[in-house]
Amino acid sequence: MNDVVDRLRPGFVVEVASNDGYLLGHMVDRGVRCLGIEPSANVGAVARERGVPTVTEFLSPEVGAQVRAEHGPADVVVANNVYAHIPDVVGFTQGLRALVADDGWVSIEVQHLLTLMELNQYDTIYHEHFQYYSVASARQALAGGGLALVDVELLPTHGGSIRLWARPMELGAAVSERVGEVIAREQAAGLLDISGYGQFADRVAKVRRDLLAFLVRAADEGRSVVGYGAPGKGNTLLNHCGIRPDLLAYTVDRNPYKHGRFTPGTRVPIFPPERIAADRPDYVLVLPWNLKAELTDQLSYVRDWGGKLVFPIPSLEIV
């Protein structure tokens, strides 16, 4: 957000699905007028407590128009990690258009379908997601609500995301070369027609076979295997592979609210991270694989007793 302020110098910023106001808190600190739109009443209350003005609403064309009438048009509208959660994409996008000034900017961050497909990231597919966006499909969705895609940035978050920059269609703003370059990559990967999707199921099945083969072999050899992390994507992986405590003794997580509980469906116990150093397992299966670089460094102490880290996606890797 600081980059947005430095580059665009906005006078008014609106964030949709603003959660507890963490992001807009940076705007408050810098003296930029801002407003959050957050449908969860309790979460919005937390944002207001931290000094971030917040409206408790789901965004729609009507709500967008109402906010614009009461607060004025926004120079920048931000919608991070929410665009994939919307069943009515056109109505939501029309709401974004209603919020933004006629010469303003809309910034949307969402997981990139290209990396999901290329890196076998099937465990990031959730029931709560209604769409998975390529830049090509996002451009079409935005146009349906009156916004033109003018630029795109590739981000490492969530295993590979895109930041879409859009402006009102009638502005006729110039389009960055990066848009065409990324769409060309998507076309080369076969994502603009059915051809790029045909082998995905086979690659997903191989992820399962390879991981299960490793776990069964480790169990037969008397090797101990525990997990690190209890993220949502980890639950998808564990349930898809049918992994239970006979193959994965337990997992650990830094969130104290998960301690003493179990992973949904597979009933793998969850303990504090300190359990790993105490037990000195042979292998640690890293479930939040998207944090590979960070966690390889954070878990470097596992090498002290000859232990190894296991990353299941995009393909089985033991380090």
Q: Higher confidence at residue 195 or residue 112?
A: 112
pTM of the model: 0.88
Cβ contact 63:37 at 8 Å:
yes
236-249 residue pLDDT tens: 999 999 999 999 99
Q: How high is the pLDDT of residue 14?
A: 96
Q: How high is the pLDDT of residue 8?
A: 78
What does the alpha-carbon distance between residue 77 and residue 74 come to, in Å, rounded to a whole number? 6
Helix axes 200-220, 232-241, angle to 10 degrees: 80
Q: What are the chain's domains?
A: 2-197 (3.40.50.150), 200-318 (3.40.50.720)
Q: In b/e form, how buried is each residue of 21-44, taking b as 16+ CB within 10 angstroms?
A: bebbbbbeeeebbbbbbbbeeebb
36-56 residue pLDDT tens: 999 999 999 999 999 999 999
261-273 residue pLDDT tens: 999 999 999 999 9
What does the alpha-carbon distance between residue 262 and residue 223 come to, in Å, rounded to a whole number? 22
Does residue 195 have a pLDDT over 70? yes
| Torsions phi, psi for 193 (to 5 deg) | -145, -175
Q: How far is CA 91 from the centre of its chain?
A: 22
Q: How high is the pLDDT of residue 308?
A: 97
User: Binning pLDDT at 50, 70 and 90, where does residue 127 land?
Assistant: confident
91-106 residue pLDDT tens: 999 999 999 999 999 9
5-34 residue pLDDT tens: 777 788 999 999 999 999 999 999 999 999
Q: How high is the pLDDT of residue 1?
A: 62
Does residue 4 have a pLDDT over 80? no
Average pLDDT, the chain: 94
User: Binning pLDDT at 50, 70 and 90, where does residue 307 land?
Assistant: very high
| Strand-strand pairing, 283-286 and 308-311 | parallel
User: Binning pLDDT at 50, 70 and 90, where does residue 209 land?
Assistant: very high
Element at 76 (helix H, strand E) = strand 74-80
User: Binning pLDDT at 50, 70 and 90, where does residue 228 land?
Assistant: very high
